[in-house]
Amino acid sequence: LCLPGDRVPLDGACAGVGVAAEGGESFGFATAAGVLRRTGEVVSVENLRKRYIPREGDFVVGVVTQRSSEVYKVDIRAPSAAYLPTMAFNAATRKNRPALEVGSLVYARVQSAHPDLDTELSCIDPETKKAWTTGEVLLGELRGGLSFEVPLSAAQRLLDAECFVLDRLGQDFAYELCVGGNGRIWLLAPGARETVLLLQVIKRSFGMTDAQIEVMIQKMVEIFT
């Protein structure tokens, strides 16, 4: 366990959620109370905190709350709303750009984050040259499905490349999932019944061991079939 201000040894790892570190230092400081956990090369503090503090480079799932000709205001579960320029999409032009409605879900990257300024988002994916109109760009509007929220520490577990519950569900179910570092998740499944079952399993898996998750999924498969 750690409390805000406690010294956290990094030992070559990067500072994750709940840990602040200055460049070149072999240690950091906890910025939140919780359980200290190291996952791969990241040291973070796990707790039930839901308020998200934007960090540059994070990927988030946001909800459009306002729109204008130049920017969208987006709720990312932070203390204040972020803004997304209407031109911040791959190959967007003034005549050819997305028209997001209020309530639309977007998967975006935190372009800039400062405690005293509004957070800027971007849906430009530098990993591809494809235009947003192709529908094949990672970032952008999330259509269909549903969204739900989890604690930030739970979202970090789902983002782990070796997340057991997501890998196990993929063996029996076809689904799409988009996890934001801000604790908001988008889920798309073939039908309403599958969607509800997947949602319940993901939410209940937090705090369970891999063996407990396996038993739960097996029971779910029996019920579904």
Q: Report helix, strand or coil for 92.
A: coil
Task: Transcribe 56-90 into DSSP letters.
Answer: TT-EEEEEEEEE-SSEEEEE-SSSS-EEEETT-BT
Counting DSSP H helices and E strands in the chain, the numbers are 4, 15
CA gap 51, 140 in Å, rounded: 23
Give pTM, 2 decimals. 0.80
Residue range 51-100, pLDDT digits in tens:
788 989 999 999 999 999 899 999 999 888 899 999 999 988 888 888 99
Residue range 15-54, pLDDT digits in tens:
877 888 876 667 888 888 888 877 777 888 877 666 788 9
Distances (CA, A) of 10 to 15, 154, 220: 7, 21, 40
Q: Report helix, strand or coil for 114.
A: strand
